[in-house]
Amino acid sequence: MQWSRRQFLGAMGVAGLIGSTGPKAVSRAAPILDGLYRSAVPELYAPIDPAPAHSEAVVVGSGFGAAVTARRLAEAGVRVTVLERGSQWPTDPRRQIFANDFLPDGRAFWRRGGTAPLTGLPTVPTDRFGGIFDVSEHGTIDVWSGAAVGGGSLVFTGVMIAPERRFFDQLFTGLVSYDEMQALHYPLVRSELRLAPMPEDVYQSLPFTHSRVWDHQVRRAGYTPQRIDGIWDWDVVRGEMAGRSRPSAIIGESNLGNSNGAKFDLNRNYLAAARATGRCTIHASHEVTAVTREADGRYSLTVDLLDPSAEVLSTRTVTCDDLFLGAGSMGTSRLLVHARDTGLLPDLNEHVGEGWGTNGDAALVRGMSPEGNGIVQASPSASRISDDSGAPLTLENWFVPGSPVDLTLIGSLGMVMDPTMRAPGRW
Ligand SMILES: Cc1cc2nc3c(=O)[nH]c(=O)nc-3n(C[C@H](O)[C@H](O)[C@H](O)COP(=O)(O)OP(=O)(O)OC[C@H]3O[C@@H](n4cnc5c(N)ncnc54)[C@H](O)[C@@H]3O)c2cc1C
């Protein structure tokens, strides 16, 4: 994953500022880049659709948790307002909507400017803009997450694996029923997101050489690779190979978005279904900065309206009867910790903001693979292996994007069940 940021080449990032003349009219990107973004993605510069002053329910964020919540509330008859800090990005089979990995620009990163810390690898500075990938530093942990309508579903790698019962129960200790998840929720999500393993014709194609090499190597090491579910739209991936679409998934684009909709992201399923009820509206460029509870029981939210560069255009207050925070582990924790420490929300206990850590992922890249890697590596993951000989772990076949020559690199994403996560007071 991190090799996508090996942007030794070029430096498009000139962080110049220009003045603001009105909502969504300008960005703080360098003028030349602002012009580029405006012509490449004019949709970003459309007027903001302001949220209603009062809503029955507000959902903050529009990633996985928020999208499911918004849809199910709306289907149950509730009028729902979704507030999302990021932009509403379009997709197009031919246009390049998002930044590319090799030579990124402001469309890559959320409100940064300069370089983004990507696990210690050298990066190219970019201008400050409202890009879709939020990279933020917190002591010894750097956090990567999505910042767009659809949240992480635009930037994630699309591997969708239901956890095994033994790991699930170890974490949730019976608080959430695994039987119910297995019988009801996992199959439902699998069907709604059209999750499927990589089809054989895709697996056998040139851009997936690295997947076959990976499988071959793990077999030689005594493991049996299992095909895993993904959220990829295989027809779009096939279209890329057939020249019907600009190459994206097959050249290792993923972390900074797939302009052609190669990922079946939340805009095309849960959020679309929520909108289709006629009871849910989704408001991009609305960043919630504070939440409080009024004496009458309503929630009151302070909301910044942002321009395409994620700079604040104006601030307003919206209220709701019921509030659902789906702003991801960073966004929701930030709001709750602020609310607790300022006393803006009553009844928040000492566990808010605690027990937070990495998700057990470890990215590995092996060099000197004797079989090579197939030059450019497609981003969808084909398979994984499991190993219980120590701390239980899985290793997934991963891509090393953006390498223009065969660097004989083979990537894996490890996931480990870390026993220290089970210490008292943590989970
Ligand atoms: C590069 C990468 C690859 C990944 N690959 C995989 C994978 O293959 N498989 C897998 O299962 N998981 C993967 N993940 C993890 C997965 O993306 C996350 O677990 C998932 O997106 C979390 O969902 P969420 O609903 O909690 O939050 P998110 O999807 O992060 O959504 C939160 C939303 O809230 C918005 N928001 C935040 N703060 C505010 C605010 N104050 N006001 C308004 N809006 C706000 C954000 O912009 C965002 O849209 C990956 C993550 C990354 C970064």
Domain regions of the chain by residue span:
1-154+265-357
Determine the Cα–Cα distance for residues 261 and 255; give it in Å rounded to an integer.
Answer: 13
- Cβ–ligand 1 distance for 210 under 6 Å, the answer no
Query: What is the chain's mean pLDDT, rounded?
Result: 87
* Residue whose CB lies within 8 A of the most ligand 1 atoms, among 145, 335, 413, for a mutation test: 145
Residues of the chain with pLDDT under 70: 1-29, 117-122, 374, 402-406, 419-427
pLDDT digits 0-9 by tens, 410-424: 889 999 887 665 444
Helix (H, G, I), strand (E, B) or coil at 79: coil
Q: Which atom of ligand 1 is nearest the CA belonging to 230?
A: 8
Exposure b/e, 306-319, CB count within 10 A at least 16 = b: bbbbbbebeeeebb
Say what the pLDDT of residue 404 is: 60
Say what the pLDDT of residue 117 is: 67
pLDDT digits 0-9 by tens, 344-370: 998 898 889 887 777 778 888 888 777
Q: Give 295's DSSP letter.
A: T
Say what the pLDDT of residue 13 is: 25
Q: Ligand 1 centre and the CA of 254: distance in Å?
A: 14
pLDDT digits 0-9 by tens, 105-157: 999 999 988 887 665 455 778 899 999 999 988 887 888 999 999 999 999 99
Would you call 138 exposed, middle or buried from its count of C-beta atoms within 10 A (0-12, 13-18, 19+)? exposed
Say what the pLDDT of residue 178 is: 98
The residue with tokens 């930037």 is: 155
Say what the pLDDT of residue 165 is: 95
Q: Ligand 1 centre and the CA of 405: distance in Å?
A: 31
Say what the pLDDT of residue 118 is: 67
The torsion angles phi and psi of 276, rounded to 5 degrees, stand at -65, -20
- Cβ–ligand 1 distance for 145 under 6 Å, the answer yes
- Cβ–ligand 1 distance for 60 under 6 Å, the answer yes
- Cβ–ligand 1 distance for 288 under 6 Å, the answer yes
| Amino acid of residue 3 | W
Q: Which helix (H) or strand (E) holds 324?
A: strand 312-325
Q: Ligand 1 centre and the CA of 262: distance in Å?
A: 18
Say what the pLDDT of residue 346 is: 87
pTM, two decimal places = 0.91
CATH topology of domain 1-154+265-357: FAD/NAD(P)-binding domain (3.50.50)
pLDDT digits 0-9 by tens, 232-251: 999 999 999 999 999 999 99
* Residue whose CB lies within 8 A of the most ligand 1 atoms, among 156, 325, 344, 359, for a mutation test: 156
Say what the pLDDT of residue 425 is: 41
How many C-beta atoms lie closer than 10 Å to residue 219's C-beta? 12
Say what the pLDDT of residue 101 is: 81
Instruction: Take atom 23 of ligand 1 and give the residue whose Cα is closest.
Output: 64
Instruction: Take atom 9 of ligand 1 and give the residue whose Cα is closest.
Output: 159
Say what the pLDDT of residue 286 is: 98
Which residue in 193, 201, 205 sits closest to 232, CA to CA?
A: 193
Say what the pLDDT of residue 1 is: 31
How many C-beta atoms lie closer than 10 Å to residue 390's C-beta? 7
